[in-house]
Amino acid sequence: MASAFALLWLLSHVLLLLFAGILLATAGAVLANALSRLTGLPRGLALAVVVLGIPALLLGLVALMGPQMVREVNELRTALPEALDTADAWLREDSGLGIGLREVLGDPADATATVPWASLAAYVGIGVGGVVNAVLIGFMGVYLAATPDFYLRGFVSLMPHDLRPRVADAMRAAGEGLQGWLLGQVMSMAVIGVLSGVGLWLLGVPMAASLGVLAGLLGFVPFIGAALFTAIAVIFAFTQGGMQALYVLLLCIAVQQLEGEVITPLIQRWAVALPPLLTIMAVLVFGTLFGFMGVLVATPLMVVVMIMVQRLYLDQRPEL
C-alpha cells in the first residue's frame, strides 16, 4: 500500500491531466448528447460535429473579430503602461490611502525594468509545457468522450468482484455530478461576464467587452480568478484616474457578492451543491499539493471526491 501511494504521488501530474481530460470529455459528451437529441444524429456523428465544430467556430470568430482584436491589443499595449504610471503617481500622492498602500506594497520605482534572460527562458518553457499539456488533455478528452463505457468497464474490472456494482454506480453518479457542475459553472461564468462587461461599459472603462469576456473565463477558477480579474480591471481603470479605479473596485466586489449570495445558490438548486467550505479547502489543499493545475481542477475534483465518499463510504444517494 505504501508503494502504491508513492507511485500515485509520483504520477500525480499525469493523474491531474487525466482528470482534466475526463472533465473535457464530460463537457463534450453533454454537448454531443444534446445535439443528438435535437437533430436525431447518431451519438458518434454528433460528437464528431462537436469536436470539429467548436474549433471551427472559434477560428471563425477570430477571423470575424480579427481587426477588432488587433485594435484592442494595440490599445492594451498603450493603456497598460499608462495605467501603471497613473497607479504609480497615485501611490506617490500625499493622500492617506495612497501613502498607506505604498507602505504596504512598496515603492514601484524600486522595481527593475530589465527582464533576466533566465527568467524569460523559464516563462517560455512554462508556456511550451502548457501547450503540450493542453494538446494531451484534448486528445484524452476526445478518446474518453468517444467510448466512455469501454473505459468505465475496464476500470471497474480492476476492482474486487463483489465491489464492482457499487464502484460502477459511484462512477456513474460522479459523471452525472460533473455534468451538473459543468452546466452550473457555465451559467455562472456567463452571468459574471455579462454583469462585469455591462458594469464596466456603464462606467466608461476602456475595452469593457473584452474585460467582460475575461471576467467570465476567469470565473472558472474559484476565488483566485475573481481576485485576478479585479486587479486587472482596476489597473485599466487607473487610466481614468484614482476615483474611477475605486468605482471599478466597488463594481467587482458587488458582482462577486451577487454571484456568491444570489447566482450560485440559485444554480445549485438543480446543479451539484458543493458546500463553500469544501470549495475553499479544495483550492487550498490541491493548490498547495499540485500548484496551478491543482487550483484549476480543485472544485470539480472535490465534487467527484464528495460523491464517491457518499456512494462508497457513507452509502448515501442524494438527488443530483
- 94-127, pLDDT tens digit by residue? 444 554 444 544 544 444 444 455 555 665 666 6
pLDDT at position 295 is 83
CA angle 22, 138, 210 (to 5 degrees): 105
pLDDT < 70 positions in the chain = 61-62, 64-127, 239, 265, 268-273, 316-320
pLDDT at position 320 is 43
C-alpha dihedral, 72 to 295 to 169 to 181, nearest 10°: -40
C-alpha cell at position 195: 454583469
Rounded Cα gap, residues 84 and 295, in angstroms: 28
- Output the CA–CA distances (angstroms, integers) from residue 29 to 17, 33, 57, 167, in the order listed: 18, 6, 18, 21
C-alpha cell at position 40: 436525431
Three-state DSSP class for 221?
coil
pLDDT at position 50 is 86
Averaged pLDDT score across all residues of the chain: 77
Map out the domains of the chain as residue ranges: 10-61+70-106+124-314
Rounded Cα gap, residues 89 and 182, in angstroms: 43
The contacts of residue 248 (CB under 8 Å, 6+ apart) are: 200, 203, 205, 233, 234, 236, 237
Long-range Cβ contact pairs of 69-74 (< 8 A, separation 24 or more): 72/207, 72/210
Please state the pTM of the whole predicted model: 0.70
Rounded Cα gap, residues 244 and 252, in angstroms: 12
C-alpha dihedral, 78 to 84 to 88 to 91, nearest 10°: 130
